[in-house]
Amino acid sequence: MLAVLRNRTYRHLFAAQVIALVGTGLATVALGLLAYDIAGADAGSVLGTALAIKMVAYVAIAPAVGAIADRLPRRALMVGADLTRGGVALFLPFVDQVWQVYVLVFLLQSASAAFTPTFQAVIPDVLPEERDYTRALSMSRLAYDLESLFSPALAAALLSVITYNWLFTGTMLGFLASAALVVSAVLPKPAPAAPRTGRAHAKATAGTRLFFSVPQLRALLALNLAVAAASAMVTVNSVVYVRDVLGLSAGAVALALGAYGAGSMVVALVLPRALDRVSDRTVMLRGALPLTAVFAGLGAITAVRDGGWRWPALLVVWAAFGAACSMVLTPAGRLIRRSAPAEQRTAAFAAQFSLSHGCWLLTYPLAGWLGMAGGLQWAVVALGSIALGASLLAVRLWPTRAAHVHADLPVGHPHLRDARRVRAGWRHSHAGLTDTLHAHM
């Protein structure tokens, strides 16, 4: 899998992604401490609102960026986003009002909503070979998982010798380093932009309309909802399960989140070889459909009041959630690359970014509010039902042999072979029908 790092351009872009992720992780820790300094006991509500603002920025800004990204130099767009994020990080230590936090978080996440889809759309051009691109997707998934484990540990180590305000400085330096690496990369020329037609609203929604018009992308949207249900349960309620249900220490929260990340990383390491032999549809649906069984296991842990088995069982459940989510999310880039014409690729990745975070915008508060108002069992039932319904909908929406095949797929690609078999079968059936009609004339 590491062979893709021999490509100099991808190596620089991947390093930029990793450094920016570490910077973002440091900012997340520092932002929590800043919120506590400003709001005290109300810090949780401040962070909850900041998280909602983050999702709103992702949902609203990504499609708008997708509408104009093909008209702008991609390197300049990514560097500008990194510099914006670095500038926001520089100002964060000086805020002393809650509203200032909200404004800066919106600017920070808006810049991320510009950077991430553009970065994702560049990689297929840098690594045009399907095999290399698949491994790049797994590398990206590993980067996200490792960041979730490494950044809090790094922040804890740094906080033993510096104050949290200096973490924002580390965040700024990370974004500046990311910008420098993007500048050093020689990006391939993008596909020619389509002629400008229609209104600005139509351009901003082009990627979303593509998602709703292509069967396998409609299925991906349903799978995003299933993944959001599982990941919201982990993200929002890990601390509740560990501290309140099981009565364990704060350190056990990190172990639980680590189990989720470990499950995701194991799958990300195994998938490249599996995807050489198995279709994206098979892998992604086999990741989503078992989520209902995992939620059932979580329900058993929630219902039982005591028992030493519950803690290791929770670790297994969290690891299973991570593995299932990785099975869906890792091949998603391949699916978008195959399903979107080259000139619409940035808009398609922007739509995936926006729509997937729209799913989290729904499931995050649902996981928290239901758990607080009705108890964790209601949250398990509601989110498990969402995961089941979304997974079954994906099966229904995604035909076994997708009819939407683009001409830019390589010769010998499985989708092209399937399409030829479908056409051959239709011709055979048509010929048989013609012979039957002639026989009765």
Helix-strand-coil percent breakdown of the chain, rounded to 5?
85, 0, 15
Tell me the torsion sign for CA atoms 248, 250, 251, 257: positive
| pLDDT score for 163 | 82
Q: In sequence order, which residues have a C-beta less than 8 Å from that of residue 87 and are 6 or more positions away?
A: 172
Q: Which of 299, 294, 311 is nearest to 246 (CA)?
A: 311
pLDDT single digits (tens) 76-98: 889 999 999 999 999 988 888 88
Count the residues in the chain.
441
Q: In sequence order, which residues have a C-beta less than 8 Å from that of residue 439 and are 6 or more positions away?
A: none
Q: Which of 131, 106, 102 is nearest to 3 (CA)?
A: 131
As a whole number, mean pLDDT of residues 392-419 equals: 58
Domains 1-185+200-204 and 207-410 share a fold: yes
Distance (Å, rounded) from C-alpha 412 to C-alpha 422? 15
Mean pLDDT is lowest, of 223-237, 252-266, 270-284, 319-333, for 252-266
HSE of 61, CA atoms in CB hemisphere, 13 A: 20
pLDDT single digits (tens) 340-386: 887 777 778 878 878 888 898 888 888 888 887 888 899 999 999 99
As a whole number, mean pLDDT of residues 390-414 equals: 65
pLDDT of 22 higher than 50: yes
372 or 100, which is more confident = 100
3-state class of 410 per DSSP?
coil
Identify the top-confidence range among 72-81, 183-192, 278-287. 278-287
pTM: 0.72
Chain centre to alpha carbon of residue 341: 21
Average pLDDT, the chain: 79
Q: Where residue 226 falls among pLDDT bands split at 50, 70, 90?
A: very high
Domain boundaries defined on the chain:
1-185+200-204, 207-410
Chain centre to alpha carbon of residue 105: 19
31 or 295, which is more confident = 295
Cα 143–Cα 146–Cα 149 angle in degrees, nearest 5 = 150
Tell me the torsion sign for CA atoms 43, 369, 390, 257: positive
| pLDDT score for 198 | 52
Burial of 318 (0-12, 13-18, 19+ CB in 10 A): buried
3-state class of 274 per DSSP?
helix
| pLDDT score for 431 | 39
Residue with tokens 């490792």: 146
Percent of the chain with pLDDT over 70: 82
Q: In sequence order, which residues have a C-beta less than 8 Å from that of residue 255 and are 6 or more positions away?
A: 315
- Output the CATH code of domain 1-185+200-204: 1.20.1250.20
Q: In sequence order, which residues have a C-beta less than 8 Å from that of residue 301 and are 6 or more positions away?
A: 241, 245, 310, 313, 314, 317
| pLDDT score for 164 | 80
- 179: tokens are 């910008």
DSSP string, 63-80: HHHHHHGGGS-HHHHHHH
Q: 8-39 and 98-126 helices cross at what angle (nearest 10)?
A: 170
As a whole number, mean pLDDT of residues 24-31 equals: 78
Distance (Å, rounded) from C-alpha 122 to C-alpha 74? 8
HSE of 189, CA atoms in CB hemisphere, 13 A: 3
- 154: tokens are 């790094």
Residue with tokens 């309309």: 209
pLDDT of 439 higher than 60: no
Are 367 and 232 in contact, with CB atoms under 8 Å apart? yes
Q: What CATH superfamily is the domain 207-410?
A: MFS general substrate transporter like domains (1.20.1250.20)
| pLDDT score for 183 | 92
Q: Where residue 191 falls among pLDDT bands split at 50, 70, 90?
A: low
